[in-house]
Structure 1
Amino acid sequence: MTPEWLAVDWGTSRLRVWLMGPDGTVLDQRQSDRGMGNLSSGQFEPALLALVGDALPRGRTIPVIVCGMAGSRQGWAEAPYAAVPCAPLSVASAVQVETADPRLSVFIVPGIKQASPPDVMRGEETQIAGFLADNTGFDGVLCLPGTHCKWVHISAGEVVSFRTFMTGELFALLEQASVLRHSVTGGDWDDGAFAGAVDDVISRPATVAADLFSVRAAALLDGTGSGASRARLSGLLIGLELAGARPYWLGQDIRVVGAGGIAGAYRDALAAQGASVATVAGDGMVLRGLRAAYDTLHEAAP
């Protein structure tokens, strides 16, 4: 079967494409390493065709719904940010890209911006739309852990406000390029060390710089193992984030996107603070968001 439309998640390092049937089924899924970071503006269409050109129908045009970094200033075409409060995703505000191949009708969905305090997201809005497709009427906060963790307040089907915390990137920098790298490589995870660090930094966030160095000192003086040291480093940074994000999670219904791993760490840290929190599986959330965008386009078609 030839696809009815293409769902595309174009990130900085990866390109993912789902070939979609008329009833919303996935006919095929393909991916490559031709992410936005490896392409100039004129290389996006050839990269897409190299991946899926053999599957495109002859003699007709199909919609291509694209989310992610393809819509950035350095991407295929800049899709200007929608301003909060707004629905997480709308093809009506998408940018339609001119293509050389007449079989492609490309729409790049916009990210979301916030004026005060200044913040942006690009890609996460599609995950949010996918979550809302399965959880209509949700009123609360989504936590999307990652390199740059997003806290998103949702009400009446709209993104009301959000904040981005660079916790994952800070962890990677400290783990790989600081004096702590000698103490946090390898080892088993230590739940007690993580929980203790979260409590310490939420109680005394002003001392976090000193507490970070104590990770190294404890390894030297007390023989603290790398697993406990790594868990403590993670707990200090996530605890610092929770202290800063308190207006988002205090008294709110929270869903952490992901299962196990870092999502589980966020859930445990929030639960220890008495928050109402649960995790939701992130697998397939982007595709569900792209489906919702396609449905909007399909319904608007004459």
Structure 2
Amino acid sequence: MDPKNTFFSCDWGTSSFRLLLVERHTLTVLAQVSSREGNAAIDKSWQQAKQPPAQRLDFYLGVLQPHLQKLEVIMKMSLKGVPIVISGMASSTIGMAELPYKPLPFATDGTNLQTKYLPPTARFEQPILLISGVKSEDDVMRGEETQLVGCALENTPQLQLFLHPGTHTKHVQVQHGRAVSLTTYMTGEVFSLLSKESILAASVEEGGQLEEGNNQQWFAKGIQDSQQANLLHNAFLVRTQDLFRKATRQENYFYLSGLVIGSECQDLVRNLPARIVLAGKPVLVAHYSAALHVLGIADKVPVEVKNGEDVTIKGQWAVFQGSQMEKEDA
């Protein structure tokens, strides 16, 4: 294998790090490493090290370097000079180099996203393309914009929705080949707080799959109840269902999941797009796909499901191809 036919795909989030060696023509993953060395943890270590601000980038590259070496060991070859494309929180205030957000709208082919080229040096021999996030007047995202590019949505006058579930779920409206609006829902974070930190923590039990036992029925009930009453009332039912032995704690877990996802989707029910592209981690995508079916949304508009890792790679490669860095690399 010729290293010149590869690139590194780096998804560097707040709490996790993933680096993949990817074959350019087929976008096949050849090898990968991951860790919990997210930007939040590295930033904390940086603050504790009390180094000059000018050394911040080198500090982060020092974290990245051992992972590159691991991939060289796995591949049994030198990967010197192979470019790295990084998206996620690495371009934020807690990352290696802060980049300004790209204001909406932006082209969904990735040609006008905000990027920064970091040339190779004697100490770090890989060139880097750092991709920044996107902002509206009152919202932001970092990382999801690259996944949206990787979805290759059609250039059409019809309004399409890119839905990325997560800690802070993103709904991005796309029209005429441009992302035109962005809405964030703190669905994952609210679910985590309710299920782990609130009085409801004693009434739920994590574990099991959506399709096991009665989990799917209780999840669907949570979705349906979310459309009928306020979340702040519905959430307390999780406690009383446990007290009155109406549901097991695992069933309650899925009921609560249905409540928060269903509450998020209220806006979607009222304003249906022409098409929905759902992309993210498989477990979350499965939950949202089920919710869209329970709400009848999937019966009214087409829903396309994509794997988050796949669209990240495709998006990074598309941005790289449209960048000045690609011309220098050719």
Query: What does the per-residue CA deviation read over 1:236-260, in whole Å, with 9 as the maximum and x for residues that have no partner?
Result: 111211124445x524311222576
* Percent of aligned pairs sharing the same letter: 30
SS, match of residue 244 in structure 2: helix
Partner of 1:67: 87
2:148 to 102, 121, 128: 128
Query: What does the per-residue CA deviation read over 1:21-43, in whole Å, with 9 as the maximum and x for residues that have no partner?
Result: 45455443233333212223342
Partner of 1:13: 15
Partner of 2:296: 274
Q: Find the aligned partners of 2:161 and 2:14 in 1 and give their Cα distance.
A: 26
Partner of 2:63: 47
Partner of 1:196: 221
Describe the shift of the 1:213–1:151 C-alpha distance in structure 2 as closer, same or farther (beyond 3 A). Answer: same
Q: Find the aligned partners of 1:213 and 1:111 in 2 and give their Cα distance.
A: 37
Q: Find the aligned partners of 1:3 and 1:166 in 2 and give their Cα distance.
A: 41
Q: 1:227 and 2:247 equivalent? A: no
Report deviation, 1:99: 5.5
Residue pair 1:71, 1:79 contacting (<8 A) in 2 also: yes
SS, match of residue 154 in structure 1: strand
2:114 to 93, 108, 115: 93
Report deviation, 1:279: 4.3
SS, match of residue 232 in structure 2: helix
Q: How many residue pairs end up in the alignment?
A: 293
Residue pair 2:223, 2:295 contacting (<8 A) in 1 also: no
Residue pair 1:64, 1:106 contacting (<8 A) in 2 also: yes
Residue pair 1:144, 1:150 contacting (<8 A) in 2 also: yes
Report deviation, 1:7: 2.2
Q: Find the aligned partners of 1:57 and 1:267 in 2 and give their Cα distance.
A: 39
Report deviation, 1:141: 0.6
Describe the shift of the 1:44–1:257 C-alpha distance in structure 2 as closer, same or farther (beyond 3 A). Answer: same
Partner of 1:80: 100
Query: What does the per-residue CA deviation read over 1:91-149, in whole Å, with 9 as the maximum and x for residues that have no partner?
Result: 7731223654362222211111010xx111001111111111xx443651111111111
Q: Find the aligned partners of 1:75 and 1:259 in 2 and give their Cα distance.
A: 23
Paired amino acid for 1:221: F
Residue pair 1:45, 1:99 contacting (<8 A) in 2 also: no
Query: What does the per-residue CA deviation read over 1:255-276, in whole Å, with 9 as the maximum and x for residues that have no partner?
Result: 2225763323322322333322
* Structure 1 stretch displaced more, 229-238 or 72-81: 229-238
Residue pair 1:271, 1:277 contacting (<8 A) in 2 also: no
SS, match of residue 106 in structure 2: coil
Partner of 2:321: 295
Report deviation, 1:235: 1.6
2:155 to 93, 116, 137: 137
Q: 1:156 and 2:156 equivalent? A: no
Report deviation, 1:299: 6.0
Residue pair 1:270, 1:277 contacting (<8 A) in 2 also: no
Give unmatched runs, 5+ long, in structure 2: 47-55
* Structure 1 stretch displaced more, 285-294 or 220-229: 220-229
Report deviation, 1:296: 1.2
Query: What does the per-residue CA deviation read over 1:131-190, in whole Å, with 9 as the maximum and x for residues that have no partner?
Result: 11xx44365111111111111111222211111111111111111111111111146552
* Structure 1 stretch displaced more, 166-175 or 90-99: 90-99
* Structure 1 stretch displaced more, 184-193 or 224-233: 184-193
Describe the shift of the 1:102–1:91 C-alpha distance in structure 2 as closer, same or farther (beyond 3 A). Answer: farther
Residue pair 2:99, 2:132 contacting (<8 A) in 1 also: yes
Q: Find the aligned partners of 1:196 and 1:21 in 2 and give their Cα distance.
A: 44
TM-score normalised over the length of structure 2: 0.79
Report deviation, 1:65: 1.6
TM-score normalised over the length of structure 1: 0.85
- CA-based RMSD of the aligned residues comes to 2.7
Describe the shift of the 1:274–1:25 C-alpha distance in structure 2 as closer, same or farther (beyond 3 A). Answer: closer
